[in-house]
Chains A and B, each alone.
Chain A
Amino acid sequence: MNIFLYDNTFEGLLTVVFESFKLKILPDAIVYKNKYQPSLLDISFEIITDVLKAERVWNGIKAKTSKEACDMVYHTFLSGMDNIGMIIFHYLQLTFAANYNVSVNYREESVLLIKQIQQKVLKEAHRMFMFVRFQKTNNDIYFAPIQPKYDVIPLIGKHFKNRFRDQIWIIYDTERDYGLYYDLKTVEEIKLEQHNINKSSGKIDASLLEEKEECYQVLWKSYFDAINIKERKNLKVQMQFMPKRFWNYLPEKNNG
């Protein structure tokens, strides 16, 4: 088995594609090097991420297909699925072999698969637009912990920047341990040394909250209950649109 090892970044994966084409060796698996367990039957190639090579592949995709199709590949990568390296590799093999734009030919299994994964990732990003809940801290930062299924942080900064332009905010992925920080000018990626968030309830330590924060959470919960029509109870639909995995971090659902 030919195993290509990379650093689990998107540029790294594109470099894998570049090297594989250059070496004329097809990978049987593309694996994050820190997770790789060597086996006697494997021949492994450790690929060093090279931004210039990655860019050549990226431009190649753009030339062969379209800007939208490039986005599709990147979004798919953010799914972080175990075999995502090979899924994207197969798709790019097809892209470069074809003499037309394959990115909308859903008869091809790998095109349809990539498209479907992209839709899942974009749906998760949209769910952040829906379910992010800011808590105001006593130093006037609006802080929202999140636990998305996919790594959607790179996809959501623009939306929140356009919307909450006059408030300082942080959106923090407590699982992947990094987030976005907006300081009224730009959005930057941050990694916090320590944070006082209860990872299971998403609550910030009460001593750090602005004095009215809890009061607004109570008002919101109360509104949430009052707007419900009891005679129409339909928990199935509620859960379909707002899956339980989000409930922990929603004040209307986690306050008992």
Chain B
Amino acid sequence: MNDTILEKLNVLANAAKYDVSCSSSGSSRSNNGKNIGNTVSCGICHSFTEDGRCISLLKVLLSNHCIYDCAYCVNRSSNDIARAAFTVDELAELTINFYRRNYIEGLFLSSGVMRNPDYTMERLMNVAKKLREVYRFNAYIHLKAIPGASPDLVKQAGLYADRMSVNIEIPTEQNLKILAPDKDFASVYQPMALIKENIIISKEERKKYRKSPVFSPAGQSTQLIIGASPENDRQILQLASGLYDFQKLKRVYYSGYVPVTLADNRLPALKQPPLIRENRLYQADWLLRFYEFKVDEIVNDEFQQLDLELDPKLSYALRNPHIFPIDINKADYEMILRIPGVGVRSAKLIVHSRKFGRLNENHLKKMGIVLKRAKYFITCNQLTDGHKDILPSIIRRNILNEKNKLLKRFNENQLSLFGDLVV
């Protein structure tokens, strides 16, 4: 049996790998002793592949047969690739045996659209149901909601999943329709809204009755493909910000487009996936979620595309010299967070410690603040306005110089590293 499983695993993992979501956080499900596994709210990564991405869940498709022909997707019906499908029992055995060896936190299950959306959604829901009810699997399950599936099936699925997601993929409907003629925004937003609603209802119910059923307790997420269509960063981040605010999403993932099919004139010819741009979008996303930035502060009419050379926080600081320097000893936590070189952890250290006396440069250095960056934007005991009058353009040049020096040193190390590997 294992050769077939090995083959299927290869095909169906390969088919799932362009979905970048990997999180196993946000759910805290304890084990009563009769079940297999639990979930912890912080989530746990278990391995890292050569592309630097984490493996937390066993991420596979139930089947990579698909009736749709979306240009950006490796599983499009016109793509000549090996096709396979797991049976429920095969998948359950695999998941549980990986889980018991501590390889994974749980299962991330998606699928190509077989026959029609309802047929596919029902099969996904049944896998989750059987894992929970027959196999007593109590660990993390992330289920895809299939665009266009009926509300009833999505609702049932949410009762077995820790997290659900519907992928928007292409950030504007106009471009989605060009690349994926079988899809539209309504088919994506409908299940998304339904999931949101049921999460809210379930939370309310559980305030009243502790035993009432949980619905997708780790919330929902989505994915946007970057660089397959011509949207700019402003459009993308505004969409993301709206999804956080109005659809209450837990995460928006950005997936730099990797050419996965033969040339198609609807898609750009890319030599390299846009990895730097993707990284900048994630940094901007963090500013939205953890640094209390508003989307207009990161991108706006005058500034539509993120700076590829500088991270968005630094870029914001250079565009807004009037709010700096910030006084480390007096400014509010929200303002401390805006200083380039100060992260959430160091911002907390700062506000804790300054209650006991004034902080100086030495304190900051020991706390791990990147003074090379921060020095242009702060005042504290000794470091007073010395840096205040430097022009943003000069700060930019200084910081880029520093960065290039580091990069050069890193590349030299890399070379010597690969030199070793060749031997």
Question: Which A residues fall within an 8 A CB radius of B?
Answer: 104-107, 109, 112, 126, 129-136, 142, 144, 159, 162-167, 212, 215-216, 218-220, 222-224, 226-238, 240-242, 250, 252
Contact = CB atoms under 8 A, between A and B. Distances in A.
Contacts of B16: 227
B5 A219 contact: yes
B366 interface: yes
Contact of A224 (B49, B52, B349, B359): B49
Nearest to A250: B47
Interface string B74-98: 0000000000000000000010011
Main secondary structure of the interface of A (DSSP, over half): helix
A231 B356 contact: no
Contact of A227 (B17, B352, B357): B17
A99 to B, nearest CB: 12
Nearest to A144: B102
Given A132-B102, A136-B101, A226-B17, A238 B258 contact: no
Contacts of B5: 219
- Pick the 9 closest A-B CB pairs, nearest first: A237-B52, A234-B52, A232-B51, A226-B13, A228-B49, A106-B353, A242-B48, A105-B356, A134-B101
12 contacts: A106-B352, A144-B102, A164-B37, A166-B34, A215-B2, A216-B97, A219-B9, A226-B14, A226-B17, A229-B258, A232-B51, A232-B275
B116 interface: no
A224 B349 CA distance: 38
Interface residues of B, number: 58
B49 A227 contact: yes
Contact of B103 (A164, A212, A220): A220
A144 B38 CA distance: 19
Contacts of B14: 226-227
B10 A226 contact: yes
Interface in B143-165: none
Interface in B1-30: 2, 5-6, 9-10, 13-14, 16-18, 30
Contacts of A109: 366
Nearest to A220: B103
Contacts of A227: 13-14, 16-17, 49, 55, 59
Contact of A107 (B2, B58, B59, B357): B357
Interface of B: 2, 5-6, 9-10, 13-14, 16-18, 30-31, 33-38, 40, 44-55, 58-59, 94, 97-98, 100-103, 256, 258, 272-273, 275, 349, 352-357, 359, 363, 366-367, 410, 414
A39 to B, nearest CB: 33
Interface centre among A159, A167, A234 (most CB of B within 10 A): A234
Contacts of A215: 2
A218 B98 CA distance: 11
A164 B256 CA distance: 37
Contacts of B273: 231-232
A92 to B, nearest CB: 18
Contacts of A222: 6, 9-10
B9 A112 contact: no
A164 B35 CA distance: 9
Nearest to B52: A237
B267 to A, nearest CB: 15
Nearest to B17: A227
A223 B48 contact: no
Contacts of B101: 133-136, 142, 216, 220
Contact of B100 (A107, A134, A235): A134
B409 to A, nearest CB: 13
Interface centre among B33, B55, B58, B357 (most CB of A within 10 A): B55
B414 A166 contact: no
Contacts of B35: 165-166
Interface centre among A126, A159, A235 (most CB of B within 10 A): A235
A166 B50 contact: no
